[in-house]
A and B are shown apart, each in its own frame.
Chain A
């Protein structure tokens, strides 16, 4: 195995997640945090919830994007060094959800940054969020040309 192979192995085994609440009702946030509890224990897969986009590989966004926080979302995305993936969680993250028609709402996450995986639900279940991260790894795999 060459060094690149080792590194690729590492990439698939250690997705560090930064979770950005883009204006969710907190329903999805609680489910994201539930993934860390002993019941789900995502650290089994090397997934860490990290507080810093500069350290993260996967951006998990919950909630709708509005005019106030769209630059924040963009900035955070830009400050993640590549290779990286984005997961939109919950109906709000996907399309704006119940807030879609509000005057201040831009819409789903993909209005601002490219999204790789969409995890539906209102709120999304922890299982499906974990599933989303695993899917995101598949996306990374394809991006790296490993699939």
Chain B
């Protein structure tokens, strides 16, 4: 128990660095795909450090409150993942982060942040069911919602849940703010509805949200790795492959509307899930 606790703690401390590093590599590869040289790998860290040092500027006090809660929730999710806790619980805690991010954005009467918040809400509406479906499919294979049982299962889940991996890919694209689903705010500095849900967050508050995003990146990679929980090499290959695919998709697609996202992500996601779950229950 203590060793698990220490491991979880270590993971929680390492997670923002992992997340930041992945983001840095992401930016570099994206630049190369666009035949640019690109920023240094450590660029995301420079950005966040700079943001932390900027003057505080808020529309009202909720804007200062919400990012802290969002960050707490995201860090807690990674910690729970490290404790090999309940997947549903992690999901619910993840919701806390999303809800507070939106509340803070809505707290500013600016139309850009309002529209961004509504779109973010639509993004949550699109990826939350998908994530839950993935967790439900895990539970159907392993018999419980505990991550510990995924590891105890002893076989990789991917052969049994191949379609669910695609479903998780959809959720990943939305959660990581990648095209075609970077609707509420793009993780690149694109200028659509100013900066969407992030418009009114600035300086240290934006830095906290960015760090929370790194935690989320680490968490999502962790969730992906559960599909090949039996070997570190397998998990790493799976992750690298999935993330690279994600990057390619990000670079070859344009941003779509939220209607498209709801129809496409939910429609395809639900269909794939049902297929996989039915197939899976026949297999048993």
Residue positions of A touching B, CB distance < 8 A: 4, 6-11, 13-14, 16, 38, 41, 43-46, 48-52, 54-55, 57, 79, 81-83
Residues of A within 8 A of B177 (CB): none
Residue positions of B touching A, CB distance < 8 A: 27, 31, 34-40, 43, 45-57, 189-191, 194-195, 198-203, 206
From A51, A57, A83, contact of B189 by CB (8 A): A51
- Given the known inter-chain contacts A41-B38, A44-B37, A52-B195, please indicate yes or no for A81 contacting B203, CB distance below 8 A: yes
Residues of B within 8 A of A82 (CB): 54-55
- Given the known inter-chain contacts A10-B47, A41-B37, A44-B39, please indicate yes or no for A16 contacting B202, CB distance below 8 A: no
Cβ–Cβ contact B191 & A51, under 8 A: yes
Residue in B27, B35, B43, B199 with the greatest tally of chain A CB atoms within 10 Å: B43
Which A residue sits closest to B31, measured CB to CB? A43
Which A residue sits closest to B42, measured CB to CB? A13
Cβ–Cβ contact B46 & A52, under 8 A: no
From A10, A16, A41, A57, contact of B45 by CB (8 A): A10
- Given the known inter-chain contacts A49-B189, A81-B55, please indicate yes or no for A14 contacting B203, CB distance below 8 A: no
How far is the CB of B207 from the nearest CB of chain A, in Å? 10
Cβ–Cβ contact B195 & A51, under 8 A: yes
- Given the known inter-chain contacts A52-B194, A52-B195, A52-B199, please indicate yes or no for A46 contacting B57, CB distance below 8 A: no
Q: How far is the CA of A11 from the CA of B52 in the complex (A)?
A: 10
Residues of A within 8 A of B34 (CB): 38
- Given the known inter-chain contacts A38-B34, A51-B191, A55-B202, please indicate yes or no for A81 contacting B54, CB distance below 8 A: yes
Cβ–Cβ contact B50 & A55, under 8 A: no
